[in-house]
Amino acid sequence: MVNAVAVLKGANISGTVKFSQASEDAKVVVEASITGLTPGKHGFHIHEFGDNTNGCISAGPHYNPHGKTHGAPEAEVRHAGDLGNIVANANGEATLKVEDAQLKLIGPLSIIGRTIIVHADEDDLGLGGVELSATTGNAGDRLACGVIGGKFFFYIYIYLIDQLTNDVPFFLYL
């Protein structure tokens, strides 16, 4: 089991997003709790970089290792980082619990070290018919962000094609 967490910070907005994955082939469970939002739907995405040195803008575009267009979380064609919308109630509080098959905490496509962002506007899920629909879901400004970090045991799979290893996979546990 691998666990990770991001602490979201923005002007009057705060929250936590927890991630867990039981194995490399398992879905990632995402649990979020955010306060300080305006009531309604807000785009919720994982972005490419774990860099928040210049605010949330430093995080770059949506995490998209497969080069697809923006889409809904349940769509086959979507960025891996497209989580759709998180909905804030009348008090500005939002919670979310979803399972996602395209996200990974384990392996070369891990989201650990990337940034999760909550946006000002509703994500149109790539269906808005405007230019930004295909790249950002036209979700607007970046309100709050946090870098996804984890404390876990992981393995590095090293396959040595060498007579000394007899073509046997070697696992290094760190």
- In the block, tokens 């979310």 appear at 96
Of 39, 23, 28, which is closest to residue 6 (Cα–Cα)?
28
User: What is the distance of C-alpha 68 from the center of its chain?
Assistant: 15
Task: Annotate 49-89 with DSSP letters as a single string.
Answer: ----EEEEGGG-SB--TT-PPP--TT-SSS-TTEEEEEEE-
Catalytic residues: 45, 47, 62, 70, 79, 82, 119, 142
- pLDDT for 13 equals 98
pTM of the model: 0.85
- pLDDT for 170 equals 42
- pLDDT for 146 equals 97
Mean pLDDT of successive 10-residue segments in the chain (174 residues)?
Answer: 95 97 96 98 98 96 96 94 98 98 94 97 96 95 95 39 42 40
- pLDDT for 151 equals 60
**CATH class as words, domain 2-173:** mainly beta
Which contiguous run of DSSP H or E holds residue 115? strand 115-119
Residue spans of the domains in the chain: they are: 2-173
